[in-house]
A and B are shown apart, each in its own frame.
Chain A
Amino acid sequence: GENVGLHLPTLSVQEGDNSIINCAYSNSASDYFIWYKQESGKGPQFIIDIRSNMDKRQGQRVTVLLNKTVKHLSLQIAATQPGDSAVYFCAERSGYSTLTFGKGTMLLVSP
């Protein structure tokens, strides 16, 4: 598969643990944020999004937290499973601009 995870920050957890992946974004004017998951050899898949008028949003086993004061975004994955192993990207957008992606974090889940 694609070695997109090479040289990326890595988070290693045990199956069943909760995982927290962090992202610092750069543009204080960004008003829309997304988390994507990318498995080896595949394109990124949408996980969850959040708008700047919110500070928390929950999905199935995932929660995104947004702290606009310090320009920080986090993705929490509850009861992490081996199938969650992948590279996770945050992306931001301001107004009508295109998405700008972070460099990603590799999540490794051990059985």
Chain B
Amino acid sequence: DGGITQSPKYLFRKEGQNVTLSCEQNLNHDAMYWYRQDPGQGLRLIYYSQIVNDFQKGDIAEGYSVSREKKESFPLTVTSAQKNPTAFYLCASSTGTDFGYTFGSGTRLTVV
């Protein structure tokens, strides 16, 4: 079955450490996205990529980095520069600009 997979589901990080969240899709989608979700808030865009080897900053890119070396993969690194990294992170993909997004099941990151 085609889908989008995020791993791990739960992740714990010590303050000052970088951590990378995985996102893989086998839907042959060109575009991929990372969103952050906090309680009581909507989804906020961190980074997105519309094609391999290219990505754009979203509304809250500070303290995060991404890469898009393969069409199927769009990993997100939460760096030590992110002041409040504890959140639920959602990855999504789409065929392009004319359709909605397919979401993964999310990764819950907790800084301890």
Contacts and interface: CB of A to CB of B under 8 A. Distances in A.
Interface of A: 2-8, 32, 34, 36, 41-46, 49, 89, 91, 93, 95-99, 101-104
10 contacts: A2-B37, A36-B103, A42-B106, A43-B105, A44-B43, A44-B90, A49-B100, A96-B97, A97-B97, A103-B42
Contacts of B74: none
Main secondary structure of the interface of A (DSSP, over half): loop
Top 9 nearest A-B pairs (CB, nearest first) are: A7-B40, A43-B103, A6-B39, A101-B43, A101-B42, A103-B42, A96-B97, A34-B100, A43-B105
Nearest to B31: A98
B55 interface: no
Given A43-B90, A98-B33, A2 B42 contact: no
B58 interface: yes
Contact of B103 (A3, A8, A44, A49): A44
A19 B97 CA distance: 30
Interface in B51-98: 58, 88, 90, 92, 97-98
A18 to B, nearest CB: 24
